[in-house]
Structure 1
Amino acid sequence: MWGETVSFVFPILQRLSTMRELKQTQALITKTGLTRHPYLMAKLIAFSALSTSGSLEHAQAIFEEASMDNYFICNTMIRAYSQSVFPIKAVLLYNQMQCMNVRSDNFTYRFVLRACARVLLRKEDERHDGSVIAQKGAEIHCRALHSGLVCDHFVQNSLIYMYSQCGFLNLARRIFDEMSDRTVASWNIMIAAYNRISDFDSADLLMQSIPVKNVVSWNTLLFRLVKMNDIEGARRLFEEMPEKDAVSWNSLIAGYVQNKDYRGALELFHEMQVNGVEATEVTLISVLGACAETGALEIGRKIHDFLKQKELKIEGFLGNALVDMYAKCGILKFAWEVFNGMRMRHVSCWNSMIVGLAVHGYSVEALELFSAMEKGVDDARPNRVTFIGVLIACSHNGMIEEGHRFFSRMIGKYKIRPDIKHYGCMVDLLSRWGLLEEAHQIIKTMPFDANCVLWRTLLSACRVHGNVELAEEAFRRLADLEFVRDGDYVLMSNIYAEANRWNDVGRLRREMLNQGVLKKPGSSQIEVKQLNTVLN
């Protein structure tokens, strides 16, 4: 009964290129009563979930209206979530399929196993530890075995990837060794697994035994050099590679960013464009990270304009990167614009916005946003980075009681164990507003040794609030931890001078000379020539 209408709609679905066209086609499908047609709905979901012009939120909305009996539709959503910033949603959807006895095929297992691995890879939610995810992966392995699909090489490759990410490399290697038909992908996944744990001898043995090397094999070796921070070696290999793809360029750009050579990353991005290699989402995420760290706002805005012009989706990792770039560049208006335009915001996106507001002095707005996050607007659970932003907001606005309350809530409600950055925020909050003894007490009672940052924070506050005795202890502690910097000598000298202890000022200056410490002259930096980066 659907024949003629379906034959009319099907070619339209094949030509979709924007969300505007998808919504028009969806309206036509609704009007003609085809919303229960499994294949048409699957095509709508596939474009919305997987296309660079799509929207994962819209795909989810269509999925909720469709029937879960269609395993192809479920697979499409699991695949989309497994590639997104929400891999745990793929695992939850798989669980729902099992509860409803929806059929699973080799694609189901392939996508959900990848999702399990990526839940661990992101390591942003402390509720999802390695042992729990490994147990889930093992359960999926058993189901694949029971269904007779465990011999599918795509499923086997996904099992190798999942077990290696969970830390069970022996199980990954056993599956690899028992495979009767290994593809080059199988070899590459296993080699990458050894590289990930720095077992380079095993990786090299496999690399020597691989029957055929492809571009992925070379990319695996390139990634290894990047991981070792051997950026010069990575660049040499990159130049010598017999073939390159976008992943090759992305790996090297990410390497420059990882080594804080942001200018080099931007120049390599420009070179990538000149060579006619199309930038991927991963490329743009790395480049936006470099823009954020260098303040290269114009390049970041060009990327944003390019995405809007091409009607490409701004969500997930890319949306997070844009928010972070604008926030770090101090352009909070545009950060808000991107943030509010995203319909499915990951915790990292909330963190970028909260930290950006806090750092730039918008403490009230940062805490209001945190409150909205706690109310479950996006089902985003605060993590340790969130609380760093919250504590910075309290510090900048002198909210001492609130800072103590948030610190306790982090431990009590969210079961997050404070690290040295959280203690540093508390020391900054107390020091900034004159509670030096309380700040000193936190440093002394922390469950780990204080670093130079904490003692330097206390030393700076001692000058503001005129506490010479505590400043002397902080200075001594700094000297115990590292070679004292010129700035520390100058700071301590100024503290003595303001206390009219001129003999100590003279002593410090002589000590600087004896140690060969010279005061560096002040300097500032401006960008004279903007890097010419063009997106095609």
Structure 2
Amino acid sequence: MIRKQTNDRTSNRRRPKLWQNCTNFRTLKQIHASIVVNGLMSNLSVVGELIYSASLSVPGALKYAHKLFDGIPKPDVSICNHVLRGSAQSMKPENTVSLYTEMQKRGVSPDRYTFTFVLKACSKLEWTSNGFAVHGKVVRHGFVSNEYVKNALILFHANCGDLRIASELFDDSAKAHKVAWSSMTSGYAKRGKIDEAMRLFDEMPEKDQVAWNVMITGCLKCKEIDRARELFDRFTEKDVVTWNAMISGYVNCGYPKEALSIFKEMRDAGEHPDVVTILSLLSACAVLGDLETGKSLHLYILEKASVSSSIYVGTPIWNALIDMYAKCGSIDRATEVFRGMKDRDLSTWNTLIVGLALHHAERSIEIFKEMQRLKVWPNEVTFIGVILACSHSGRVDEGRQYFSLMKDMYNIEPNIKHYGCMVDMLGRAGLLDEAFMFVESMKIEPNAIVWRTLLGACKIYGNVELGKYANERLLSMRKDESGDYVLLSNIYASTGEWEAVQKVRKMFDDTRVKKPTGISVIEEDDDKLMMRYLLASESESRSRGRIS
């Protein structure tokens, strides 16, 4: 039974035992039902505790908290802050900004806590314009000097706002807080100012675990691998975040073998991997084609999943396994993981379609057709995989159809990667004139990859005139790629035009571009380069609300 509380709530009092015991969804709903039965839904103190628990104490109940909040006619700032805080810490921090806007419409005046949560969300989302708008409101409400708000402002500006403003805010009062030091250090490193970041790190009066991890991560983002390794070796209190920083950093910097080596050190040190570790290691195995290590990781995942399913059976892990098996050539295992998944997202379908595209094109297209039958809505990545599969299986007519389908049925505007796939498909089929006309009719400016793809097709089919034109366009964009000169030289050589070959070689020598030792330009290498380019990660666009 819930009794009506008569005392005013304060932000720093101890929570009643009833709410301390509210740690799961079932208990939360039971307490909510009791509140309704006892007619206490009009008591903001009681409802505030309910929303606090749903927002911050009970896993997976944040959506429930939002529904409760929507039902309150006149919430106070404390209740708003509970939901803001929970949203800022969630996987969808954009809800924080929407809620803040709604809060203003309801006439609830923000306090210092409000601004810290909203600024944190803007920092995570890198919503610069919104963050500046919030900064303006902070000034208007007179909270700039508040230490917590100032730290939140430093975090925002260091992360994605104006680094100069962050530096100005980083005054003597801010320097008393470790979080401000870490924010500034991370901000400089993120902007590529690694020397300034290192200077701040050296000046830091107290280097805690967060500071070390921030600096190691910053060095790796700037490709300062030796500096990162030096810091890593100096740090004696490594946690799983530290190990993950080095492992993922090595993978992202193109050193997958070193990533696996660090993992061995991690296990020898007695540290247990988490989901982030496993995802990075699967990526390393995919790059290396290390099927055996990948299988071992799969067994480890299954073993841990049987003990802690909430951690190890998430969709991202299974998607990474599909990607690893596909890139290691184990298509049956990739398909087996796919078929065994209970919950598939769009990334799951895309991973398998793209993974099959190069060497198992028919199966790739079959998966896409199954996706259509199940009415799973594709995106731009899906069609990159499908058109690539058509290219590698010689299905030109189908490729044309899918390109039109993407635009006409799914309203997906082709990007440079789709155009590149189409040029690759037409070029492989020997339809060089059509490929050239396609490039000329593109709605966006062709990039170097498109022209090089056409140049490669000209080399295969010995089309000197078109190859020369493609090369001219290519060299107008870049003159530092030895492969471009080699391709044109090979086109002339294939037709016996040795004088032209000598001219190309002279052009090559005049540019002083060095050809990498032991590398020849062959079709397989071009395939790998094309795939790496097509699957380069893109930042997803988010809808950005405007804060008035």
TM-score, reference length from structure 1: 0.69
Corresponding position of 1:459: 456
Deviates most, 66-75 or 134-143: 66-75
Corresponding position of 1:366: 368
Corresponding position of 2:482: 483
Task: Return 5+ residue gaps in structure 2 as ranges.
Answer: 5-14, 327-333, 506-514, 525-548
Matches within 5 A, 1:289-368: 289-295=283-289, 296-302=293-299, 304-305=301-302, 306-307=304-305, 309-313=307-311, 319-320=315-316, 322-330=318-326, 331-335=334-338, 338=341, 341=343, 352=351, 355-356=354-355, 361=361, 362-363=364-365, 365-366=367-368
Deviations 1:484-516 (A, max 9, x none): 5999699979x96xxxx7x789x99xx99xx99
Corresponding position of 1:431: 427
CA distance in 2 between partners of 1:258 and 1:444 (Å)? 35
Q: 1:469 to 1:403 in 2, by over 3 A?
A: farther
Q: 1:403 to 1:78 in 2, by over 3 A?
A: farther
In the alignment of these two chains, the number of paired residues is 468
Corresponding position of 2:534: none
Contact 1:78–1:112, Cα closer than 8 Å, also in 2: yes
Contact 1:78–1:90, Cα closer than 8 Å, also in 2: yes
Corresponding position of 1:228: 222
Q: CA deviation at 1:167?
A: 4.1
CA distance in 2 between partners of 1:223 and 1:468 (Å)? 49
Percentage of identical aligned residues: 25
Q: 1:335 to 1:191 in 2, by over 3 A?
A: same
CA distance in 2 between partners of 1:239 and 1:469 (Å)? 56
| 1:59 pairs with 2:62 | yes
| 1:115 pairs with 2:121 | yes
Q: CA deviation at 1:310?
A: 0.6
Q: CA deviation at 1:189?
A: 0.9
Q: CA deviation at 1:439?
A: 1.5
Contact 2:209–2:238, Cα closer than 8 Å, also in 1: yes
Corresponding position of 1:214: 208
Corresponding position of 1:530: none
CA distance in 2 between partners of 1:102 and 1:354 (Å)? 49
Q: 1:23 to 1:432 in 2, by over 3 A?
A: farther
CA distance in 2 between partners of 1:518 and 1:191 (Å)? 40
Q: CA deviation at 1:239?
A: 0.9
Matches within 5 A, 1:144-183: 144-177=138-171, 179=173, 182-183=176-177
Q: CA deviation at 1:256?
A: 0.7
Corresponding position of 1:534: none
Corresponding position of 1:379: none
Contact 1:289–1:321, Cα closer than 8 Å, also in 2: no
Matches within 5 A, 1:17-28: 22-26=24-28, 28=30
> Which letter does structure 2 place at the counterpart of 1:334?
V
| 1:388 pairs with 2:390 | no
**1:329 counterpart SS class:** helix
CA distance in 1 between partners of 2:467 and 2:182 (Å)? 56
**2:170 counterpart SS class:** helix
CA distance in 2 between partners of 1:390 and 1:63 (Å)? 40
Q: 1:504 to 1:193 in 2, by over 3 A?
A: same
Corresponding position of 1:191: 185
Contact 2:51–2:83, Cα closer than 8 Å, also in 1: no
TM-score, reference length from structure 2: 0.68
Q: Which has the higher contact order (CA 8 A, sep 6+)?
A: 1
Corresponding position of 2:529: none
Q: CA deviation at 1:265?
A: 1.4
Q: CA deviation at 1:143?
A: 3.1
CA distance in 2 between partners of 1:432 and 1:321 (Å)? 35
> Which letter does structure 1 place at the counterpart of 2:368?
A
Q: 1:433 to 1:99 in 2, by over 3 A?
A: farther
CA distance in 1 between partners of 2:31 and 2:464 (Å)? 77
CA RMSD after TM alignment: 4.8
> Which letter does structure 1 place at the counterpart of 2:436?
H
**2:227 counterpart SS class:** helix
Corresponding position of 1:253: 247
CA distance in 2 between partners of 1:228 and 1:142 (Å)? 32
Deviations 1:164-183 (A, max 9, x none): 33341122222223746630
